[in-house]
Amino acid sequence: MSEFDTSHLEIFGAETDLNPKNHRPLSAPSPNDVKRKNQIRETTSASTAQFTYERRKAAYEERQRIWREQRMSSQAAALPSREALSGKNKTILLLLCWYMGGLGLHRLYAGKINTGIAMLLLFLLPPLFLPTPSPFAVASCFWALSDFVAICRDRFADGEDKRVKGPADAMTLIWFLAFPTVLLFFIAYNYYV
């Protein structure tokens, strides 16, 4: 038996000689083989470099496209949208909110029927059962005050979720808001003092 046991290889039909003494020495590569190997290596490295360049370029272009889309969407969000505007008169809404806000009449005018009735019930029902001023009526008045601020800042929407915008007539507001309010305070002050 030789120094390497190859019986297991012969069983499977392998005709491999594992004895290094039986191997013939390799001859030196010819200059044509070396030249061909270098050409293959250069072609492979050039095609690999070209592939890497194209892959990086594609990745860069994809990042640029995503950046442009994000920038365009953020600019589109910053532009004023063409939202639907309500047909309700802002001046009338402000007057109703200032004088009858606790009763919810401004909400009824705007088409918000459910919350208008809720404000009306908050304001009117508790005083029927309680002899003192109701905290519910005070809450209704604060609710009306927040609505007044929202109307002034064009943040109030009507019953169809359309914004109530537009210029309020300044002189109308001065005559119907400021002057009667000062007059009412003056009358109340003189009456109670």
User: 117 and 180 in one domain?
Assistant: yes
Of the residues 47, 79, 111, the one at which a domain ends: 79
Q: What residues form DSSP beta bridges with 85?
A: 163
- Split into its structural domains, the chain has a count of 2
Are residues 186 and 108 located together in one domain of the fold? yes
Based on the fold, state whether residues 184 and 95 are members of the same structural domain.
yes
Residues 95 and 69 in one domain: no
In a domain, 17, yes or no: no
Instruction: Note whether 151 and 171 are same-domain residues.
Output: yes
Which parts of the chain fold into alpha helices (H)?
7-11, 31-78, 90-100, 105-110, 113-129, 135-152, 170-173, 179-192
Report the alpha-carbon angle 28-31-33, nearest 5.
80
Q: Please indicate, yes or no, if residue 116 is contained in any of the structural domains.
A: yes
Does the residue 14 lie in any domain?
Answer: no
Residues 140 and 69 in one domain: no
The whole domain housing 50 covers 29-79
Whether residues 120 and 154 fall in one domain: yes
- Is residue 176 included in any domain, yes or no? yes
Would you give per-residue pLDDT tens digits along the chain (193 residues)? 445 555 554 554 445 555 555 555 555 666 677 777 777 666 666 666 666 778 888 888 898 888 888 877 766 655 455 567 878 888 888 888 888 888 899 999 999 999 999 998 888 887 777 766 678 888 888 898 899 888 888 888 888 888 888 776 666 676 677 777 777 777 877 777 6
**Burial, 97: exposed, middle or buried (Cβ in 10 Å; 0-12, 13-18, 19+)?**
buried
- φ, ψ for residue 26 (rounded to 5)? -75, 140
Residue 151 lies in a domain: yes
pLDDT for the residue numbered 14: 47
Same domain, yes or no: 42 and 133: no
Taking the whole predicted model, whether its pTM rises above 0.85 is answered as no
Q: What is the pLDDT of residue 115?
A: 92
